[in-house]
Copies of this chain bind each other. A is one copy, B any other.
Amino acid sequence: MPADASPRPVLDLAADSVAITQAICDLPSVSGDETRLADLVVDALADAAHLEVIRDGDTVVARTNLGRERRVVIAGHLDTVPINGNLPTRFEVIDGERYLWGRGTVDMKGGVAVQLKLAAELAEPAYDITWMWYDHEEVSAELNGLGRLARNRPDLFTGDFAILGEPSNSRVEGGCNGNLRVELRAYGVRAHSARSWVGDNAVHKLAPALERLAAYEAATIEVDGLAYREGLNAVGVSGGIAGNVIPDEAMLHVNYRFAPSRTVAEAIEIVRDLFPEYELTVVDEAEGARPGLDADFAKRFVAAVGGPAHPKYGWTDVARFSAMGIPAVNFGPGDPLKAHADDERVATDQVLQCERALRAWLTGAA
């Protein structure tokens, strides 16, 4: 039997957005394995004559070219974090609320489902729309499909406003905190632990750093009218050679989530000043994004979908749009606290509410 004999799955974008969410969640697309889902998206949009479809690897762009005065970019990622026994999806009712449970329902196939449905449906939107569905968001920044698209096709990144469908309980969340990860290292002298005084214990030298972290009171900083709560945390610690050896090296892995009013360079200085006695290696860095909700267009969007706006804490790709001069917000169904959780689940009402609100604004009805 030839390898391609199994029927290619079909995605029906005329279904309601909850059904579409379920269909695309049940097609696993863990980072690096997005090809089948990207194929499905391309196939599903093949009959939409109002869309120009562009593919870059496993990223799919679909845009209208109606000559509207304004252009909106609406984006979402196709990949999920690894599955942990939480597929296939199922429906659950908890305290009277109906949920779709399973990997990807929150982060962020609920948002993608709404976008796909509206992309197919809205042949005559009030604004030109550039839809972007991309790969490799849940892994290291250099693999990010949106970043690759920006390098390969910077011409596609034009617009007056961008909406990223990351989970935000179907509320508008503006901007995002920046993200810095560093490794702090202490060194000592190895020795047999029976004669520990011959050595110098590197693990013990982490005590002051851990004390400072435990006592640290993270700031809350107002940026463009939204209050961003920061966080400074150990996300890992390691050291030790054997049960009878004084360790000569110890490492503390520190994550600083900083308000978008600071740059990465400033964040590094803050961490360096806080831990001057350690060797510091930056292992990951990402600028934050100011909420941009002082822009007129953004204010109208917030009003249209039902404000007020809230700050976004997690780093998201809104920062990429922000860095390219396109004001950007997060707006998608799902509780961000359930992102990556084993009991990831989205309230189906949030998916439908997101669909209604986005349709109303994009058709000029709101």
Contacts and interface: CB of A to CB of B under 8 A. Distances in A.
A281 interface: no
Interface in A165-204: 177, 179, 181, 192-198, 201, 203-204
A214 interface: yes
A363 interface: no
Given A207-B207, A257-B193, A233 B246 contact: yes
Q: How many copies does the complex hold?
A: 2
A177 B255 CA distance: 41
Nearest to A252: B203
Contacts of A315: 194
A283 B231 CA distance: 35
B207 A337 contact: no
B231 A196 contact: yes
Interface size class of A (residues with CB under 8 A): 35 or more
A194 B177 contact: yes
Given A193-B255, A193-B257, A315-B194, A204 B234 contact: yes
Given A207-B210, A257-B194, A314-B192, A238 B235 contact: no
Contacts of A214: 201, 204-205, 207
A293 interface: no
Nearest to A245: B235
A289 to B, nearest CB: 13
A197 B205 CA distance: 26
A237 B206 contact: yes
8 contacts: A193-B255, A194-B314, A196-B218, A207-B214, A235-B242, A235-B243, A237-B240, A238-B239
